[in-house]
Amino acid sequence: MSSTLGNLFKVTTFGESHGKGVGAIVDGCPPGLALGEGDIQPQLDRRRPGQTHLTTDREETDRVTILSGVENGRALGTPIGMSVANKDQRPGDYADMRSVPRPSHADYTYQMKYGIRTSSGGGRSSARETIGRVAAGAIAEKFLHEDYGIEIVAWVSSVSTITADEVDENRITRAEVDQTAVRCPSGPKADEMIRAIMAAKDDKDSLGGIISCVCRHVPAGLGEPVFDKMEACLAHAMLSIPATKGFEIGSGFEGTRMSGSRHNDPFIKKEDRLGTVTNYSGGVQGGISNGEPIIFRVAFKPPATIGKSQNTADFNGNHMVLEAKGRHDPCVVPRAVPIVESMAALVIADLALQQRARKHY
Contacting a copy of itself within 211-240 (CB under 8 A): 220-229, 231-240
Whether omega for the bond prior to residue 226 falls within 30 degrees of 0, making it cis, is yes
Nearer to a copy of itself, 172 or 346 (CB): 346
Binding mask 239-268 for a copy of itself (x = CB under 8 A): xx-x-xxxxxxxxxx-xxxxxxx-xxxxxx
Residue among 151, 285, 338, 340 that touches a copy of itself (CB under 8 A): 285
157-183 b/e (C-beta count within 10 Å ≥ 16 → b): bbbbebbbeebebeebebebbeebbbb
Other beta carbons within 10 angstroms of residue 45's beta carbon come to 14
155 binds a copy of itself (CB under 8 A): no
User: Helix (H, G, I), strand (E, B), or coil: what is residue 24?
Assistant: strand
Contacting a copy of itself within 109-138 (CB under 8 A): 109-110, 112-119, 122-125, 129
CB of 192 to a copy of itself, least distance (A): 14
CB of 45 to a copy of itself, least distance (A): 21
Q: CA 154, CA 137: separation in Å to the nearest integer?
A: 13
Q: CA 58, CA 169: separation in Å to the nearest integer?
A: 33
338 binds a copy of itself (CB under 8 A): no
Residue among 210, 295, 339, 344 that touches a copy of itself (CB under 8 A): 210
CA nearest 206: which of 348, 30, 45, 56?
56
Contacting a copy of itself within 33-92 (CB under 8 A): 33-34, 65-72, 74, 76-81, 83
CB of 51 to a copy of itself, least distance (A): 21
User: Any residues with CB less than 8 A from the CB of 317 and at least 6 apart, and which?
Assistant: none
Nearer to a copy of itself, 175 or 358 (CB): 358
Nearer to a copy of itself, 59 or 203 (CB): 203
Nearer to a copy of itself, 185 or 287 (CB): 287
CB of 337 to a copy of itself, least distance (A): 15
Nearer to a copy of itself, 71 or 171 (CB): 71
- How many residues form the binding site for a copy of itself (CB under 8 A)? 161
Across the strands, what pairs with 159? 162, 209
- Asked if 135 and 44 touch (Cβ cutoff 8 Å), the reply is yes
CB of 279 to a copy of itself, least distance (A): 10
Nearer to a copy of itself, 27 or 151 (CB): 27
CB of 175 to a copy of itself, least distance (A): 26
Residue among 56, 186, 281, 342 that touches a copy of itself (CB under 8 A): 281
Contacting a copy of itself within 167-206 (CB under 8 A): 200, 205-206
User: Helix (H, G, I), strand (E, B), or coil: what is residue 276?
Assistant: strand
248-283 b/e (C-beta count within 10 Å ≥ 16 → b): bbbbeeeeeeeeeeeeebeeeeeeeeebbeebbbbb
CB of 92 to a copy of itself, least distance (A): 15
CB of 274 to a copy of itself, least distance (A): 6
Q: CA 32, CA 21: separation in Å to the nearest integer?
A: 28
147 binds a copy of itself (CB under 8 A): yes
Which part of the chain contacts a copy of itself (CB under 8 A), choosing from 40-48, 158-166, 184-192, 334-342?
A: 158-166
- Asked if 39 and 139 touch (Cβ cutoff 8 Å), the reply is yes
Across the strands, what pairs with 175? none
Q: Residue 97 has what DSSP assignment? A: G
User: Helix (H, G, I), strand (E, B), or coil: what is residue 205?
Assistant: coil
Q: CA 145, CA 351: separation in Å to the nearest integer?
A: 15
